[in-house]
Structure formats: C-alpha cells, structure tokens
Amino acid sequence: MGKKIATVLTNMFEDVEYTEPAKAFKDAGHEVITIGSEKGKEVTGKNKEATVTTDESISNVKPEEFDALFIPGGFSPDMLRTDERFVNFAKAFMDDKRPVFSICHGAQLLITARALKGRKATGFKSIQVDMENAGATVMDQEVVVCDNQLVTSRQPDDIPAFNREALKLLNS
C-alpha cells in the first residue's frame, strides 16, 4: 500500500527538485500531497518550469496524517521557515522519527526547527556551515541517510540518488 507524503511548498521552489522526486514517488504508488499557506493556491518554481496548485493549507493538516515529509529546495524552504506552522510541522516529523526527505536548501526548514542536532546530513554548499552550526555532521556527498529516517541531498544532480534512497525508505 502506498504511503502519504506531505510536501511543503511555496513559490520559488527548485522546479526539478519537486517534479522529479514527486513523479518517482507517484510512479511507485505513493500519494504526494502539496501543502502551502493556503489550499488551492498556485505556486511557481523559480525556473518557471513547474506550477503546482496546493492540495492543502498548513492550517488544515496534522503531521500524523502523513507517512513522510518531503522538502524540495530552491527559495521555498527559506520562505516557509518564517512561518511557525511549517517549522512545527517539520519538527514533528523529525521528533517522531518519521521519514523526512530534504534536498538542497530544504534543510533550512530543519535548521529553523532545531531538528538537525546530532544528525548526519547534507545540503546545498551555501548552507552546509549553517547545518554544522545547527549541530549536524555534514557530509559532502550526493545522498546521506541518517537513522533510517532522514534522507538529504545537495543539488539537482543528486536527484537520482535522492529518489533511490527515499523510495527505499518508503518501501521498507
């Protein structure tokens, strides 16, 4: 049976960091639910290659309704982390040790949630020092899996490895 994946998204997300994993998750039989500040709002990727209409509002969802959390990169995570609702939502997944998939700048949301302390992770080069300051052991590799829960990658080139490890976790 497919898993239900909460995907937090707003404008300026990195297009392929949403579209490629979302397609891989759906192709494997999982459900991808996009969550934004309001339901039915159109959000556009920073390269204007992808437009997504949010399925749900962050106000109307609870972390326990989902099996995993997916945080695409781009400028989206930096904007989302200014909203306490998204920070608390992400923190709940980390605290409950439920699967979290974060690529590129996605880790910014986990930094603000103070959820990286003692974790092995990776992220985009420009935020690796921030991740270290948040207590993570940062590894500069295409994908890092920590505690059979957290899957992180650095950039679009890492998407195949990111998808492979995220799907492995979803299917376990």
- List active site positions: 104-105
* Dihedral angle of Cα 73, 79, 80, 81, to the nearest 10 degrees: 100
Angle between helical axes of 15-27 and 159-170 (0-180°, round to 10): 40
Neighbours of 32 (CB within 10 A): 21
Q: Could you tell me how far CA 138 lies from the centroid of its own chain?
A: 17
